[in-house]
Amino acid sequence: MSTSQHPKIFIDGEAGTTGLEIRERLARVAGIEVKSIDPALRKDAAARKAMLREVDLVVLCLPDHAAREAVALADELGAEAPRILDASTAHRVAPGWVYGFAELNAAQEEAVRKASRVANPGCYPTGAIALIRPLVDAGIIPADYPLTVNAVSGYSGGGRSMIQDYETGTAPSFELYALGLEHKHVPELMRYAGLSRRPIFVPSVGNFRQGMLVSVPLHLDALPGNPCLRDLELTLDAHYRGQELISVAREPMAKAVRLAAEELNGTDRMELFVFGKADLKQAVLVARLDNLGKGAAGAAVQNIGLMLGLDSAVAPASSAKARQPAQLR
């Protein structure tokens, strides 16, 4: 591990979509050094181990199996191993790893600061957990309540083959996927939303590069205590009050509105909404975020800032196009 004054960071898998986004954001941060390995040696175990020994923090932007191999390589270094931030799915529910959603609860930010190994959240779970967890903690949604989570993302979150299909015009305008209900994000969604019953998760992809909407429909009269729309809104607002990157829209929720998925592109922010109609006793919770921002690279840079004590330089400043909190139209 490096002992230099300025922290050194190695992005293992920097040529991928998330790795490139993280590197671009870190390039704007003074006082850190981002190290790279010779592309010809990126699969050479000895060269990678030498790089791991040299840096303070490694960010894994790799497929799950490769991320596990990288962690095993770091384990061989013992006390010389760097701290690890894993952007893959491999360690999000693994023992010994801290979940990198600092706004999860009052203790999570400090847990990320102190952790030697942090699992970066998935883009879809980030929106779903942000909506559900405060309501579970408040007793409004029971842990065993049968929930459905619907989501649409830009194609940039779908991996190399999906990106290629959309950018070459061979993909459909819109598609549902993971209809076998076995999406790999469900275990982390359950754990960190505080759910004991597996939700139905239906993801989809639209013909736009980035941007995301995650929605959770609710029958209010099926919930304990028959909560109203205002109860949901106030609970979310109390949980995220004072947070720089997450805001709750505070407007009358009975209005008929439309939400575009791309409004937060280029930022690391997330907006939460409570829609519904009181006399129908129905609500729809919605999270809007950039799947490459708060849903991936932006969250990673936020966690890097916490882990290395660079909060003011990294997290809020990484939002390239900061916007005011949402107003409903």
Q: Which pLDDT does position 230 carry in this prediction?
A: 94
What pLDDT, on the 0 to 100 scale, is given for residue 30?
83
Give the residue from 112, 111, 104 showing the smallest Cα distance to 131.
104
How many CB atoms lie under 10 A from the CB of residue 328? 15
Helix-then-strand count for the chain, H and E:
10, 13
3-state SS class at 104: coil
CATH number of 123-291: 3.30.360.10
- Phi and psi at 9, nearest 5°, equal -125, 135
Q: What is the DSSP string of 134-153?
A: HHHHTTSS-TT---EEEEEE
pLDDT at 257: 75
**Tokens standing for 145?**
């309540």
For residue 310, what pLDDT is reported?
87
Taking the CA atoms of the chain, what radius of gyration do you get in angstroms? 20
Fold designation for 8-120+294-318: Rossmann fold (3.40.50)
Pairing relation of β-strands 148-154 and 200-206?
A: parallel
- From CA 123, how far away is CA 307, in angstroms rounded? 20
- Residue ranges, the chain, pLDDT below 70: 1-4, 251-256, 311-329
Sequence-separated (6 or more) residues with CB below 8 Å from residue 170: none
The phi and psi torsions of 136 (rounded to 5 degrees) equal -70, -45
**Is the pTM value of this prediction over 0.75?**
yes
Q: Active-site residue numbers?
A: 123
The two three-digit tokens of residue 216, written as one number: 């959770």
**Which pLDDT score, from 0 to 100, does residue 31 have?**
85
What residues does each domain of the chain span? 8-120+294-318, 123-291
Tokens of 198: 């597996």
Nearest to 130 by CA among 186, 193, 185, 204: 193
Q: Report which of 148, 135, 285, 146 is spatially closest to residue 225, judged by C-alpha positions.
A: 135
Structure tokens at 214: 């995650």
